[in-house]
Every structure is written in C-alpha cells, then in structure tokens.
Amino acid sequence: MLSQTTEYALRAMTFLAGIDGDASSNSETIAERTKVPKGYLSKILRDLVVAGLVESQRGPHGGFCLSRPSDKISMLDVVNAVDPIVRITKCPLGNPAHLQLCPLHRRLDDAIGVIEKEFKRTSLSEILKTSARSGGQCRTLVNPTIGGSKA
C-alpha cells in the first residue's frame, strides 16, 4: 500500500533519528545501514531536505542530520515529504451523478484516514523507543553505533 520510496524514506529518517546529539551521517553509511540503494537514497534525501526535515552539510565532516528533534517529526511528515497520502474526495470514476462517495470508496477513504491519523500521532522517537524495548530487527538499522559509522 505504501510506495517503496516511502518505505526507504522512513528507514532513512529512523536511522538519522538514532544518531546521538548533533552528529550527522553520510549517504554511504545511511544507504548501507538501511539497505537502500545509494542512488535512490540521494533522491529521497534531497526531498527530505527540501521538506525541511533533514539538513545537509558538505565537506569531509559533512553528512545528513534531522533538522529538529525526532519527537517533533511524525511519520506523516516523512510520508508527505516524499509521497503524500491522497484522500478520496470525489468519485474516482468521474461519474458526475456521484455527489457523495459510494460505499466502496467511502470505506477506502476511511482506511486511508486511519493510516494518516496513526502516522500523524507516531513520531520518529516513538519508533526508536518501541524498537529498543522490543529488541526487534529494526534496532540494528536504527542504531548507528552497531557496526555503523558517523560522518
């Protein structure tokens, strides 16, 4: 249901959220740790910078870091930066007789609304906390101190 771009952006942002303090990480490290193809990641990082979610610094000690604390960035912020959620507001079939959404499209839009609400209420820091408590596999992706390097 979510695009590959969205999945990759959420991986990259979760990884960046796991970096301590004001440290940054270069694109090579992010790509390696999140298993996102480097060329694809570059486009995603550019979109995240344009959206104001990530800052980039050029140079030997440069890299990428979050532009604000991870508890102030929601999953919805990330999704909307790379592949915005589209709600169904009118008949997708273009039928002018359908002044309201039919039962099928109403249910689909309701489901989209639930996803949007959950993404809005879930911050990157919450994902990190949940991952740390569960000991899940995501932890190795988001913890840059496990086999990763900082720029």
pLDDT in tens, 89-111: 887 777 777 778 888 889 999 99
Q: Which residue has the higher pLDDT, 137 or 16?
A: 16
pLDDT digits (tens, 9 = 90+) for 5-24: 999 999 999 999 998 766 88
- The CATH number of whichever domain residue 89 belongs to comes to 1.10.10.10
Determine the angle formed by the axes of helices 75-82 and 38-50, rounding to 10 degrees: 110
pTM over 0.85: no
Number of domains forming the structure of the chain = 1
Domain presence at residue 11: yes
Distance from the Cα of residue 32 to its chain's centroid: 17
Domain presence at residue 62: yes
Domain presence at residue 151: no
